Each structure stands twice: as structure tokens, then as C-alpha cells.
Amino acid sequence: EALLAQVAALLDEWSRPGLVRVANLSGIVVHTNLGRSALAESAVERVSAVARSYCNLEYDLEAGSRGSRETHVEALLARLTGAEAAFAVNNNAGAVLLLLMGLAAGREVLVSRGQLVEIGGSFRLPDIMRAGGVRLVEVGTTNRTRVDDYENAITDGTALLLRVHTSNYRILGFTEEVELHDLVELGHRRGLLVADDLGSGALNESDAYRGEPTVAAALRTGVDVVCFSGDKLLGGPQAGILVGRAEAVDRLRKHPVARALRLDKMTLAALEATLELYQDPERARREVPTLRYLSRTPAETAALAVALQAAVEGRCRDGLILEVEESVARAGGGSMPLVELPSHAVRIRFPGTPRSDEAVGVAELNTALRLAPLPVVGRIAEDSLRLDVIALDESEVEAVAESVAWAMERLLAGAPAVAPPTGAEAGGPPPTDR
């Protein structure tokens, strides 16, 4: 019997998909561990259409001959940003690597010491510069860098001046940094290319971005190339987007490594559909989930939290204390590190009975929620579980309440929190955003 039970458990585990939908109630909008941005419905529909059939990925329907996959998003990006040309690859790390290899291989790239960033997964700019075959030249100091620092470091071997937006941290206090337009003026005066890695990538002006530098503003300085992510503040699929002067972008497009980094049909479909929404800023705010969540007002999150509280109370009449409280959420995705987003959360506590150890009970509930049919990721603070609603879609309220009821039923019955065949084991502590 023990052997049969082990076999049954193993078969059950094998039947579960590894990648499943998760409800994000962590209070982090662009959660890097939870897939970053949710796609707009129009993007999901576009992906479904091209995934289930053939498509004109590299076929010109008018000419009846071979076409280019790049044309599907290049014109859109140019219109939205004001760039002469655009090119998209698989992520922004790939975009930075291609930029270095295509514009400065074997030569020097000047970067401020205060901009030598590390992002999630131990990705460090100096490491990728070495991988790209360029020589890193650090200029200035950690907290203060001036135009003269760049100019004094320029040699016959210099190919590129690189500005990196420190999107996941800020240096405060006694600081000084070079404005992009000043760096562009220096670079072009000395016959050098200038590039700007914006990282999280706010496409254009929006209150939701809380003053983040935008791609359009960077291009207006005359910078040669700007690169940024597609799945962070833009709210699209994972992609690295390069925009700028046609001559520089064409050099990157023709580099042999560009083929290794190119986008597939589903990513291109999602990116094109997302960019189309940005042609109408108000429509983008309504339909791009990331932009909608970042734009939510305290009144909107309060109403959503009350709705979630009521839905849970309707299914869990005993055993829990539920309260709606104010919360502070974050943008996540390595962006807007100092910005606190006002939000609301449903605070879940045990009343002390039937469980004597409230902290243990909350931790067990948190684990059970991660293993529910719809996994729910919240956060524990002060011996309470908090479900922050800033990134909760209105359509998910009832499903999240069902997951809470499922988790409570397992705990009160003393059953182990094991996911059903349609769920997925999360394992380990709740994810943390980088």
C-alpha cells in the first residue's frame, strides 16, 4: 500500500503543469518572479490567433514574396517614440549586449562608476561588457560624475559613451550626474556614438510613471541609440527594444548576433498589439494592465479590497478575522525604487482559536494559498497575511476568494496543503521582486 501511495503521488505530481496562472497580491505590480507584466486582452487575442495558425511572420502579403519580421513593430515604435529606426530582440540584456558588440567591439566604452548596475539574477553591467568584447572605462566617482570626467577619459580607442539609468536604485545626498543632452553634445563633438540604457523603459509621458525618464525624451536629446524593456513599465511581453538613429540601429540589425536574439511570432504579436494601444494614451491606461494598476487611486484599491473581503467572508464564515487596511505597494520590475504607491490590502488573522499559535497558522495559510487551484501570492507582516489588491484584476476576486476557502478547508481538516492535479507546487518562501 505504501508503494502504491508513492506511485500515485508521483503520477499526480507529473500530471501538474509547471507553469501556471498565479494571482499577484504581493503589492508589487511588475513582479519579476511572477512573470512581470500581464498582457492586455488584445495582446492575448493576437498571440492566440498567430499561435494556432500560420501567419505572415516573414512573408509580404502584398508582394507575395519573402518579407521581414522586423516590419511588424518598427513603424509603430518609430511613431510612438520619434525614432528614425527601431529593432526588437528577446530582452533588454540582449539589447545591451547587441549594442556593445555592434557599436564598440574591441574598443572602449565609457560609463560612470555610479551607473555600473546589477539587476536580478546577478546580471552585472561590467560582466556583460566583458562578454560583449568591449573594454570598460569607469569615469567619475560613485556619487559624482561630471562632463570633464568623460572628456578626460576619451582616447583614440574610445567608441561609445554609455549612460545607464539606475532604475532599481537611487544615489542621494552629495551627488552630481551628467545630463544626457550634455553627454550627447560631448560625444558628437568628439565623433563618438552615445547610447542610453533606460532599463525599465517608460515609453512616453504618463502620470503612472511618477517622473521616470521616457524613451521619447531621451531621443529628443539626439542620442544615437536608446534601449529598454518591453515587459516592465511598457506592460508588454519580454523584449529588448532598440530605437534611435537609422545608421546606428541598422548596424545592430545587421550584426550576426542579432539573429540569435530575434523575437518569435508570439512575442512579436503581443508586442505589436501592446504598442497599438499606446497610440491612444487613454486607451492604453485602461487596457494595459500594468499601466492600469500603476494608475489606480486609493479609492479604487479600497473598493477592490472591500469586494475581496466580502467574497472571502461569504465562503469562510468562521476561523478568520478579515480587515481592510491601507497599504503601500511598489512598482517592481527594477523601476521607481523610491515611489510608494498608495493601496489597500485585506489583512487576514486567526482569532486565536481553534489555533493557539497565530503566527504558525498564518504561515500555514500562506503556504496553502500558494498551492491552491489558483495559487495566490500575498505577503506576511506582523503575524498577519496581507493580500494587496493593487495588481488584482476585478475578474479575479471570486477566484481568489475560492482559493482562500480551499486553503482554509485544508487547514481546518488537518490535511496537508497539496495542490490538486490542476494546480502547481510553488515550494519555498514567497517570491521577492528584484
Tell me, what CATH number does 328's domain have?
3.90.1150.180
**Residue carrying C-alpha cell 497558522:** 361
> Which pLDDT does position 354 carry in this prediction?
45
Cα gap 275→22, rounded to integer Å: 25
Q: Examine the fold and report which residue of 236, 265, 287 is the final residue of a domain before the chain moves on.
A: 287
- Kindly give, in sequence order, each residue whose CB lies less than 8 Å from that of residue 113, ignoring residues fewer than 6 positions away: 138, 139, 140, 141, 142, 145
Is 60 exceeded by the pLDDT of residue 418?
no
**Residue at which a domain ends, from 287, 311, 333:** 287
Q: How high is the mean pLDDT of the chain? A: 90
Domain annotation covers residue 172: yes
How many whole angstroms separate alpha carbon 95 and alpha carbon 79?
20
Q: What is the pLDDT of residues 368-415, one digit of tens each?
A: 999 999 999 999 988 889 999 999 999 999 999 999 999 998 887 776
Mean pLDDT along residues 94-106: 96
Domains contained in the chain, number: 2
* Residue 89: inside a domain: yes
Helix (H) or strand (E) holding 330: strand 321-332
Tell me the pLDDT band of 14, cut-offs 50, 70 and 90: confident
Same-domain pairing of 169 and 243: yes
Domain end point (choices 287, 310, 340): 287
Do both 169 and 276 map to the same domain?
yes
Query: Is residue 425 over pLDDT 70?
Result: no
Q: Where is average pLDDT lowest: 108-122, 187-201, 219-233? A: 108-122
388 and 339 together in one domain:
yes
Lowest mean pLDDT among 85-94, 248-257, 316-325: 316-325
Structural domain that includes position 28: 20-38+291-412
**Residue 1, pLDDT score:** 78
* pLDDT value at residue 357: 52
Phi first, then psi: give them for residue 267, nearest 5 degrees: -65, -40
| Cα torsion 424, 425, 428, 429: sign | positive
Instruction: Indicate whether 68 and 167 sit together in one domain.
Output: yes
| pLDDT band, very low/low/confident/very high, at 122 (cuts 50, 70, 90) | low
The pTM (predicted TM-score) of the whole model is 0.89
- Average pLDDT rounded to a whole number, residues 81-109: 96
Considering the domain architecture, whether residues 399 and 377 belong to the same structural domain is answered as: yes
